[in-house]
Amino acid sequence: MSVVIRQPGVVLTDHLFQVPLDHAAPQGEQIEVYAREVVAAGKEREDLPWLLFLQGGPGGRAGRPLGRDSWLDRALDDYRVLLLDQRGTGRSTPANRQTLPLRGGAAEQAEYLACFRADSIVRDAELIRRQLLGEQGQWTLLGQSYGGFCTLTYLSLAPEGLRAAMVTGGLAGLRSSAADVYRAAYPRVTRKNAAHYARYPQDVEAVRRIVEHLAEAPAQLPDGGELTVPAFQALGLMLGSGSGSDSLHYLLEDAWVRGSAGLELSDTFLAGAQAQLSFAGAPLYAVLHESIYGQRSVDQGATDWAAQRVRAEFPEFDALRALSDGAPVQFTGEMIYPWMFETDPALRPLREAAQLLAERADWPDLYDPKALATNQVPVAAAVYHDDMYVDTADSLATVDAVRGLRAWVTNEWEHDGLRVSGGQVLDRLIRMVRGQA
């Protein structure tokens, strides 16, 4: 029996679905996928159109609503919303350091995890759609970030299930390899660094001082992880959100405390750094990150830690060289590096499986350019100008490649515009797919 919960202004209903681990073997092993239905209070019995929300990631569970908060407030005016915990996340059958050893060794774990990409997520959604809406039912899709990648896969594999689709900050390059993605990403991250240091020039010296300290002796984080120089640089992931630069500055403000042995990195700072760097809450983000770009028709080789390989082409990200040259130390961005599977306790048990995934070649394609070129589904996308996480040039090329896709290019919001705009981003996209804007 479904559990129903009431919060101010909303009614929440739990749903749990059995889906095949491998959709190519539908009678084989089954896993569970959880979804939460959200409807405005008083509209529970109305025949409302459905909106399926696909969260960013990979490996991100759907948000946990607190009444009519964030973009949900606008969505619930018109829709019955389904928040999907994509396979392996949240209340779906979990995939993490605690559960994956039950599969066997690293090879068995990697083979299992290969079934957790966008194509499987879309096929899960199609099974769920048919159960909730019936064989002929259609729903509207809202994809944020990686959810937008999944939206392009949905339009490629099962457009018949969609009434309309909306994407925010998630138009992937259809023909971009993992190396292409990072080769375009590092210059964007450089610009975000420059903007941060222009806003907070005092942080140039603050960052250099921390790097000098960590270069002599990495610090231990509260969870037993290790804050090395590269790990500290990875805090640059924060620079891609609207308030991320400010949050990073405030974190740096708390860096030092005078203890019995003199100045040392404060517990407040180390706890804050851990909150940003630990993958305990979303290990699949790290494990699967580069595999989301694997497509045999684009690159038949392995992704092979593309972010690490391409980084060598951008020496400005060498922190020790920056110290030597008297230059600002550059933070990195949305990159996953092999050393993370050594410094993060949540990832250490998964390092061998992650290595096998990095070595895996011949990934099946995720997008069908021919199907997208003849698309009949109304699609609207918010493209955030100079988005740190998704390349604008890739996004605009995809706009040209998907028939009927309308794009709104804006620099009013960063990558998190859907969440922080008070419903403005979603409202515009809704009006666009309806032909009202």
Which residues are catalytically annotated?
145, 362, 415
Contact 293, 336 (CB under 8 A): no
Q: In sequence order, which residues have a C-beta less than 8 Å from that of residue 251 and are 6 or more positions away?
A: 235, 269, 272, 273, 276
Residue at 242: amino acid letter: G
Q: How far apart are CA 327 and CA 159, in angstroms?
A: 50
Task: Please state whether beta strands 139-144 and 219-220 pair in parallel, antiparallel, or not at all (unpaired).
Answer: unpaired
Q: In what order do the strands lie in the sheet with 30-40?
A: 4-7, 10-20, 30-40, 80-85, 50-54, 139-144, 162-168, 379-384, 405-410
What Cα–Cα distance (Å) separates residue 412 from each residue in 142, 191, 218, 383?
A: 20, 17, 38, 11
Look up tokens 């040259």; give the residue.
325
The structure tokens listed for 22 are 């491998």
Contact 190, 184 (CB under 8 A): no
HSE (side-chain half, CA atoms, 13 Å) at 304: 11
What Cα–Cα distance (Å) separates residue 119 from each residue in 154, 248, 434?
A: 8, 35, 27
Helix (H, G, I), strand (E, B) or coil at 341: helix
Task: Using CB atoms within 10 Å of the CB of residue 315, give its burial: 0 to 12 exposed, 13 to 18 middle, 19+ buried.
Answer: exposed
Q: How far apart are CA 381 and CA 118, in angstroms?
A: 18
Of the candidates 367, 286, 365, the one whose C-alpha atom is nearest the C-alpha of residue 113 is 286
Contact 335, 309 (CB under 8 A): no
